[in-house]
Amino acid sequence: MDTPTTLAFDGPGPWILFLPLIWAAVVLTVVTVLRRTVWRGGRPGPRQSDRGAVYGAHSPLAVLGRRFASGEIDEDEYWRRLSVLDEQFGRSLKDGAA
């Protein structure tokens, strides 16, 4: 005599194939977030690269400071041009140092 089974379980079904896709999406998201934040590899971010153009040795502010120090421009011209550069680059000079 065959005893009927009361369990109607035919296996996990086709939805089990979605689990690897979900894990792949999680891993891809974690790697993407880490690459954008922690793993820069020494490359400067967008704000850091802009900062080098404004504050570097060949920046407009440094050139203006050298021209003032060498006597090419007077103090009034220095402050006038510095205020223009301050508006352009968004740098606030509270102490007046270039």
pTM to 2 decimals?
0.38
Cα separation, 28 vs 33, whole angstroms: 9
Cα separation, 96 vs 94, whole angstroms: 6
What mean pLDDT value characterizes the chain? 77
Examine the pLDDT at 1 and tell me if it is beyond 80: no
**For 50-87, what is each residue's pLDDT tens digit?**
555 556 778 888 898 999 999 999 999 999 998 888 88
